[in-house]
Amino acid sequence: MQDLPICIKCEVSGKVHGVWFRAGTKDQAASLGLTGWVRNLPDGRVAVMACGNKSTVLALVEWLKRGPELAEVSEVIHREVPFEKFERFAILR
C-alpha cells in the first residue's frame, strides 16, 4: 500500500498558548519532513495545517495529542482537507 500525500487541519485545545506549542509543532513537523503551518487562535486553541505522506502526517497528529512538555492538551480535532503544496512548515502570526 502506498503512503500517499495528504493534508490535515487540526484544532488543538487545552493549555496550548504560552507553552512553546507553535515552536514545538514546527520543530516536530520539520523533523518529519512535513510542510504547512501552525498558528494561535483567538479563542485559546492552536490551528495546524500539515501536509506530507499519510504516515508522517498521522505521526504529527499523535504528537499534537501530547504537545511540548509544558502543554496540557485536552482535545485534538482533525480532518483531511484537499492537498496543498507549501514550501516549508511555518509559524503564522
Residues annotated catalytic, as ranges = 22, 40
Phi first, then psi: what are they for 77, rounded to 5°? -105, 130
Does residue 3 contact residue 49 with C-beta atoms inside 8 Å? no
Distance (Å, whole) CA 44 – CA 2: 37
